[in-house]
Amino acid sequence: MTDTKKRSWAEPFKIKMVEPLRMISREQRAKALAEAGYNTFLLRSDDVYIDLLTDSGTNAMSDRQWAGLMLGDEAYAGSRNFYNLEAKVRQYYGYKHLVPTHQGRGAEHLISRVLIKPGDVIPGNMYFTTTRLHQELAGGTFVDVIIDEAHDTTSTHPFKGDVDLGKLAAVIESHGAVKIPYVSVAATVNMAGGQPISLANLRQVRDLARKHGIKVVLDATRAMENAYFIKRQEKGNERRTMADILLELCSCTDACTMSAKKDLLVNIGGFLAMNDDALFEEARNLVVVFEGLHTYGGLAGRDMEAMAIGIEEAIDEEHMKARIGQVEYVGQGLLDAGIPIVVPVGGHAIFLDARKFLPHLTQDEFPAQRLAAELYLESGIRSMERGIVSAGRNKETGKHNYPKLELVRLTFPRRVYTQAHCDVLVESVVEVFRRREKIGGLKMVYEPKYLRFFQARFEPL
């Protein structure tokens, strides 16, 4: 019987252009997987049916954004699109200065070079792969100060991205404020499952850091999604706009790095933004060395225009409701089927708990890597390992880092897939779960030096 009280939501857009999908046969998928060394990053996109590898640069742009591309001012210096973007970043993120970069890691590179000295320590709410690598390449060491609940896939804490203030205070106490150039705060926290940080917690982080003269740098890559969670579930924020919350989030920090390929609905782009004039001066000096002139930072004028328009579309609450709603729809489907996932469901992805999915495998047998491979084999769906392979090696000992979280990420590009794709996804995961006991582990047969998850190769044990 139809529930007459239930009111469904629907996407606030209709589809104007389509890109055909095709599914190759199981035999072809098995061959493709072996050729890719059981690494979903090494599959050809043509061999993928539903691509949930990432939400990075894979979003569908709107008709307004495509029109914006035609307004690209490709002047080498002083492009009008830069000034449009600068105005939007000031309006919505509130920082005084903007340094465009080709993508997020370009911004991470610059800020790490400017602020970190060899021997420094950077506390943060869980590592992110590229962020931590740039901190390490600049001579720093990342220290995780996220709350313990973030490492527990079953904890239903609503803000698992929060910083543990006791842990942060202890890092400051043991290393001294002079060794800590900044606190690295992500909103939302990707590796924890897309979990948000609360405004109350960020205010406390700011107060503690300021007391010791330490900066706070925000990874604002998915900060709009974080603002949505604050509005929905942090007391006292229900009546505020997402835009207002975003401004306050940023105002608690001194600078931000941004991969615009996520929240901001573009295929390429990023930036560094800050209030401090001296920091801006240094970043502007370096951007011309590594990215491009300070008014394009490795981007075409048209890319900056699409980003400026994307900011306004992404801050729209109907857009965000549908975006997060889609992720939650899949999450609920998987939970109803008894599949172990990280709860609460986060902003950009569903994370399968590979330890619980494949409890007969040890972490050295790369359970999440194998599970991602198996899901591809089952259904042509591409996902991403977020476990021991992504965690890399300890920079001192050279041994594997063993993260508590051994996850497979099913990541949702914005405005790309329909509810029918979501249903196919849930059914496919359930099918793999049904035959989970027969799934074996992997051994790593090739390991690159940096960010090994991108290019490592594996074979079945």
- Contacts with ligand PM9, residue ranges (CB under 6 A): 54, 56, 103-105, 128-131, 186, 190, 219, 221, 259, 261, 270
Please give the C-alpha separations between residue 247 and each of 95, 270, 322, 345, 393, in angstroms, as whole numbers. Answer: 9, 18, 22, 24, 37
| Catalytically annotated residue among 128, 159, 329, 366 | 128
* Residue 120 is among the residues annotated as catalytic for this protein: no
- Using the minimum distance from each CB to ligand PM9, give the nearer residue, 253 or 433: 253
* Residue 321 is among the residues annotated as catalytic for this protein: no
The DSSP code for 177 is G
CB burial class (10 A; 0-12, 13-18, 19+) of residue 345? buried
- Using the minimum distance from each CB to ligand PM9, give the nearer residue, 220 or 444: 220
From the CB of 280, what's the least distance to ligand PM9, in Å? 21
Cβ neighbour number for residue 94 with a 10 Å cutoff: 17
- Using the minimum distance from each CB to ligand PM9, give the nearer residue, 57 or 325: 57
| Catalytically annotated residue among 302, 382, 386, 415 | 386
Q: In DSSP terms, which residues pair with 349 in a beta bridge?
A: 411
Q: Are 112 and 135 in contact (CB under 8 A)?
A: yes
Alpha helices by DSSP H, 116-176: 129-137, 165-175
From the CB of 441, what's the least distance to ligand PM9, in Å? 23
* Residue 386 is among the residues annotated as catalytic for this protein: yes
CB-based contacts of 213, cutoff 8 Å, min separation 6 = 177
Q: Structure tokens of 129?
A: 């792969």
- Residue type at position 37: G
Query: Which of 368, 366, 447 lies closest to 193, judged by CA?
Result: 368
From the CB of 219, what's the least distance to ligand PM9, in Å? 5
CA distance 413 to 221: 14
- Using the minimum distance from each CB to ligand PM9, give the nearer residue, 81 or 259: 259
| Catalytically annotated residue among 92, 296, 433, 453 | 453
Q: Structure tokens of 143?
A: 């220290």
From the CB of 366, what's the least distance to ligand PM9, in Å? 17
- Using the minimum distance from each CB to ligand PM9, give the nearer residue, 134 or 355: 134
- Using the minimum distance from each CB to ligand PM9, give the nearer residue, 172 or 311: 311
From the CB of 130, what's the least distance to ligand PM9, in Å? 4
Q: Are 381 and 346 in contact (CB under 8 A)?
A: no
From the CB of 459, what's the least distance to ligand PM9, in Å? 23
The residue at minimum Cβ distance from ligand PM9 is: 104
| Catalytically annotated residue among 40, 58, 101, 129 | 129
* Residue 262 is among the residues annotated as catalytic for this protein: yes
| Catalytically annotated residue among 219, 254, 263, 353 | 219
Query: Which of 163, 249, 244 lies closest to 199, judged by CA?
Result: 249
Q: Are 282 and 275 in contact (CB under 8 A)?
A: no
| Catalytically annotated residue among 262, 323, 355, 452 | 262
From the CB of 12, what's the least distance to ligand PM9, in Å? 24
- Using the minimum distance from each CB to ligand PM9, give the nearer residue, 302 or 382: 382
Structure-token match 């941004």, residue found? 258
From the CB of 57, what's the least distance to ligand PM9, in Å? 7
Q: What angle do CA 288, 291, 292 make, to 5 degrees?
A: 55
| Catalytically annotated residue among 26, 31, 63, 76 | 76
SS percent in the chain: helix, strand, coil, step 5: 45, 15, 40
* Residue 29 is among the residues annotated as catalytic for this protein: no
Q: What angle do CA 315, 318, 321 make, to 5 degrees?
A: 95
Q: Are 304 and 296 in contact (CB under 8 A)?
A: yes
Dihedral angle over CA of 423, 51, 376, 421, nearest 10: 10
- Using the minimum distance from each CB to ligand PM9, give the nearer residue, 172 or 302: 302
Positions marked active-site: 76, 128-129, 219, 262, 386, 453
